[in-house]
Chains A and B, each alone.
Chain A
Amino acid sequence: MSEEISVDTDTDERLKSESAMAGLMKRPELGAIAGVVLVTVFFLFTADSSMFTLAGFMNFMSPAAQLGILAIGAALLMIGGEFDLSLGSMIAFFGLFFGTCIVNFDLPLIMAIPMTMVFAILIGSLNGQIVIRSGLPSFIVTLAFLFIYRGLSLVGLKAATDGSTQLRGIRPAVENDFLTPIFSGDAFPYLFSYLGDMGLIDTFKNGTPKVKGIPVEIIWFVIIAIIATYVLLRTPVGNWIFASGGDANAASNSGVPVRKVKVGLFVLTACCAALVAIITVLDSGSTDARRGFQKEFEAIIAAVIGGCLLTGGYGSAIGAFFGSIIFGMVLIGLSYTQIDQDWYLVFLGGMLLIAVLFNNMIRKRVTGER
């Protein structure tokens, strides 16, 4: 939240001139960027060099993007002062809804995708309305929905498949759908095969490029990060989000429509979950009841690594973007090293702890607290 602006204020003798560095030290996303640098350096030393080829990059960016789409939604919601712990369960629930539309009702994507989004909007507003109207902490309300949506996904899957917890047959149903390439597979295949032909990127012996294109989720991830950052820093709605999370009462007394903002953020988060559900269901050709398991925690951790305060009112979408990339790098990067994969969890917990301590320090810097 900083406006770089040159208004000529009479120079104040009490203001020490602030170096660019000190200004940067106040940015919420600083920690996440530092984290990306640290993790990169770590893997440069420990990992096989193939991690930092184009193929390796796509390898870790793909899970980072799937998490990142959620994390940006979660970050905006956290800045607005609320949590949604049902995020992971919603992925399974929306995956079921989407899969059923396609397999059981034979709907084309042009129908199934908008219907899933409308369903997500309804579920998101349900979460939001209950939190706002009850005045209860969103933590506890959405914890209830974490179980409810997961349970409904299980029950629903069994009903849709006559007793199985996995719904298959999505790939053949959408194979020739014109919308499939927007939500699954790799984008820009022609560009990449052209680049391969030109010898600009690595190819297999038969001449096809090793990287066929950019996985679509990465493109979604980048677009969403850009839009979220723009909205947050450059629009009135962004100001309302910070204000609602900073102090809902003060914001409301100043004319901010706090309820609308908060419900809107719950809806946004649900839509992010629906997008990830659609992408993963199309990608794997099936959906199951374990989809999105614990994604709510990973998304919140990525948001916190990205500079979001648990108390709301402060944070950054671009920070959540980098926080998610850290996740992807650690998750995939370990497989390029000799290190046991199970260190992943230890690493995550450690990152979270460092991030929280760091954010606390930054907040005190911003507010001048001691």
Chain B
Amino acid sequence: MTDKPIVHMEGIEKHFGNVIALAGVSFDVRAGECHCLLGDNGAGKSTFIKTMSGVHKPTKGSIHFEGKPMNFDSPRDSMEAGIATVFQDLAMIPLMSVTRNFFMGREPTKGRGLFKRFDTDTASKAAIEEMRKMGINLRAPDQAVGTLSGGERQTVAIARAVYFGAKVLILDEPTSALGVRQTSNVLATIDRVRKQGVGVVFITHNVRHAMAVGDRFTVLNRGKTLGTALKDEITAEELQDLMAGGQELAQLEGSLGGTV
């Protein structure tokens, strides 16, 4: 883990009309760490990571990418910077094949000029290979995503993000539809890419999953951060309580004090 954050977000606010989804959230992710973002439903986790991946423009606040102020106009911009995201809704197209979904927006090509074309063979091989690494043997790369099970679909989305997440990998509740074996596969994958120096942002409801791979933990509640804690500063029980609404906050202040 290095000290320089890859992405540093300061005082992020996001308003939807008169709904204040985020009311000043600060967050950063460093190379080689897994930073877990926790919080109850509706806390604003998805909205927050969408500002990081270029889907939403923050109403207020600043984003720095590798030390430079950054303004992502579209998800394409953030991808080009090396940020890949598994969205909670997965961003998959049911009518399209696994391969076409996997490389959607970033198709490998062969040939030049007018004859530059989608290299479907390379794409299919890569998709199968990446899926196998995640523990799923695809029946056929031209199978429509609509025919996959929820867990398989989630795995395609994760494999895709891992494949393209050169610097930052954001996972928004990636394990919600996964079984035990697949979940441990995903956690192992997070650990693997983190060791390769990728900064991972891991959103989950499951404190045990978070504790298993997380280096730092930030809890969101009603659009605000309740604080950031390092792994050895906090226990699973304390995290659980924080997520539940921060009733035990006073009690925890000691352990969080330095890092809030």
Which residues of A approach B to under 8 Å, CB–CB? 1-5, 7, 9-10, 12, 14-15, 230, 234-236, 238-240, 242-243, 246-247, 249-257, 313-314, 363, 366-369
Q: Among the listed A5, A12, A249, A252, which residue makes an inter-chain contact with B142, where contact means beta carbons less than 8 Å apart?
A: A5
Specify which chain B residues have a CB less than 8 angstroms from the CB of A10 in the assembled complex. Answer: 137
Q: A255-B104, A367-B144 are in contact. Are A3 and B117 (CB under 8 A)?
A: no
The answer to whether A2 and B147 have CB atoms under 8 Å apart is no
Listed from nearest, the 7 A-B pairs whose CB atoms lie closest are A255-B105, A367-B146, A368-B147, A246-B93, A236-B107, A250-B91, A253-B91
Within 8 A of A (CB), among B200-244: none
Residues of B within 8 A of A (CB): 53, 55, 74-76, 79, 85, 87, 89-97, 99-100, 103-107, 109, 116-118, 120-121, 123-125, 128, 137-142, 144, 146-147
B120–A5 CB distance below 8 A: yes
- Residue pair A366, B139 in contact (C-beta under 8 Å): no
Chain A residue with the shortest CB-CB distance to B78: A255
In Å, the complex CA distance between A367 and B146 comes to 5
Given the complex, which residues of B lie within 8 Å of A236, measured CB to CB? 107, 109, 118
Contacts of A7 in B (CB 8 A): 124-125, 128, 141
Q: Summarize B's interface: helix, strand, loop or mixed.
A: loop
Task: Given contact pairs A240-B104, A242-B95, A254-B91, enumerate 12 new A-B contacts (beta carbons under 8 Å).
Answer: A3-B99, A3-B121, A5-B124, A5-B141, A9-B128, A235-B118, A239-B96, A242-B93, A249-B91, A255-B104, A255-B105, A368-B146
Complex: how many Å from CA A242 to CA B106? Answer: 14
B105, A15: Cβ atoms closer than 8 Å: no
Decide: A246 and B141 in contact? CB cutoff 8 A: no
* A9 CA / B142 CA spacing, docked (Å): 12
- Tell me if A239 and B103 are in contact (CB < 8 A): yes
State how many angstroms separate the Cβ of B93 from the closest Cβ of chain A.
Answer: 4
Which residues from chain B contact A243 at a C-beta distance below 8 Å?
93, 96, 100, 104-105
Asked whether, in the complex, the Cβ of B75 is within 8 Å of the Cβ of A367, the reply is: no
Q: Is the CB of B137 within 8 A of A9?
A: yes
